[in-house]
Structure 1
Amino acid sequence: MSGLPQDVSGALSALDNAVGRIEAWTLGWSILVLASFTVANVIGRFVFDASIHFIEELSEFLMVLVTFFGLGYVTRKGRHIRMTALYDQLPPRAKKVVMIVIATVTAAVMFTLAWYCLEYVQRTAARGKVTPALQVPLYLTYLPVLFGFVLSGVQYLLTVLRNLDFSDPRVFASYSAVDEYEDPELAHALQHGRQDPTAPPPSGPSVPSVQS
């Protein structure tokens, strides 16, 4: 398959950047708010002998938000833990095919989970329950889970589309992250170990593996 049309590639890059900004902004502000309220609660408890009553509930909500929005962000950075013992032995083209299959299956799982989560959110909203401390609709606390699955699924779909370009020999762990090893010695061993075991390892920044 040849490279993607320029307008399609530009649209996908814009989508990837937009999703990345949403995830980064949400995660950044959530962590700042969580840290700020936690510090304020500690000060209030030990200095004024009075704690903020809704901090525990807010902290739980923000932790859920950070966890599931972080799912998509880590996917975008290609930082998920993977087992690659067999994958590393494949030629570059086969690695692209395997990456496409993995990303396609994972995207399907993410969207399936998002669908079930949507149904649960709708049932919770229909009951009209609110949280004990903040008195906000309970279903709002489950929305980050839904959005996290959707954003992660979108990232995996973008990974599939990026790897469909077989004219590019690189393998992408996400739309913007090349699948590579950060350790130069490990990358060199995978590239040249079988051909020339006495060759010295390269120096400098991270060196892509064969899959890159």
Structure 2
Amino acid sequence: MFRALEKYFEPTVIVASLITIIIMVFADVIARFAFSTSIVVANEIARICFVYLIYFGISYAIREHRHMRVTFFVDKFPPKFKRMILLVSESIFLIYSITVCVLGIEITQQAIARGKTLSATQWPTSVLYAAIIFSGLLCALRLLYSLYLIGVRGDISMYQNEEMPQ
């Protein structure tokens, strides 16, 4: 159960968000052109889904070791130094992810305290800001696992430079 959740959680959220965006925008376009009206909640739901798609995409990129990084200099070092550099860079990224998560909690708490709601759906704005918390937490967990692989197991194979297809 946990392994399936770990493997499919982010892709499921990303795909579900993308499908919802497509359906909402398509339905709103049809409503505008065919019926001269608009689906009031369509843009807001699409915006929320887009935010979740982006934030969960960050975590997914970390899991797949596809997040943006410059490895030109790292690739020039022997494996022992490469391992130390990767430990430092992943640690910095972990600190950043934890900071994002903590700030996301603060922003979400402020939104809850203010009682603000989204205009069309009347959902609390904390629904939108919660994506920051989830993403920060997932990123931190993914980076902790990456640090474990690099630091304890000495596995840096996932960071070997791959040739780009031409």
TM-score when normalising by structure 2: 0.90
Counterpart residue number, 1:31: 18
Q: Is the helix fraction higher in 1 or 2?
A: 2
Which stretches in structure 2 are left out of the alignment for 5+ residues?
A: none
Residues 29-87 of structure 1, C-alpha deviations (whole Å, 9 max, x = no match): 11111111111111111112222111111121111111111110011111122212211
Q: How many residues align?
A: 165
Q: What secondary structure sits across from 1:183 in the alignment?
A: coil
Q: 1:128 aligns with which of 108, 111, 115?
A: 115
Tell me if 1:171 matches 2:151: no
Contact 1:20 1:73 in 2 (8 A): no
Letter in 2 for 1:183: E
Give runs of aligned pairs for residues 1-212 of structure 1, distance below 5 A: 18-166=5-153, 170-172=155-157, 178-183=158-163
- In 1, the alpha carbon distance for the partners of 2:5 and 2:98 equals 19
Letter in 2 for 1:99: L
TM-score when normalising by structure 1: 0.72
Contact 2:24 2:43 in 1 (8 A): no
Residues 113-140 of structure 1, C-alpha deviations (whole Å, 9 max, x = no match): 2111101111110111111100111111
- In 1, the alpha carbon distance for the partners of 2:2 and 2:87 equals 19
Which stretches in structure 1 are left out of the alignment for 5+ residues?
A: 1-13, 173-177, 186-212
Distance 1:184 1:42, change over 3 A: closer
- In 1, the alpha carbon distance for the partners of 2:70 and 2:50 equals 27
Q: What secondary structure sits across from 1:69 in the alignment?
A: helix
Q: Which stretches of structure 1, 4 residues or longer, exceed 4 Å deviation after superposition? A: 14-17
Q: What secondary structure sits across from 1:130 in the alignment?
A: coil
- In 1, the alpha carbon distance for the partners of 2:9 and 2:123 equals 23
Q: What is the identity percentage for the equivalent residue pairs of Structure 1 and Structure 2?
A: 24
1:180 Cα deviation after fit: 2.9
- In 1, the alpha carbon distance for the partners of 2:36 and 2:139 equals 43
Contact 1:16 1:158 in 2 (8 A): no
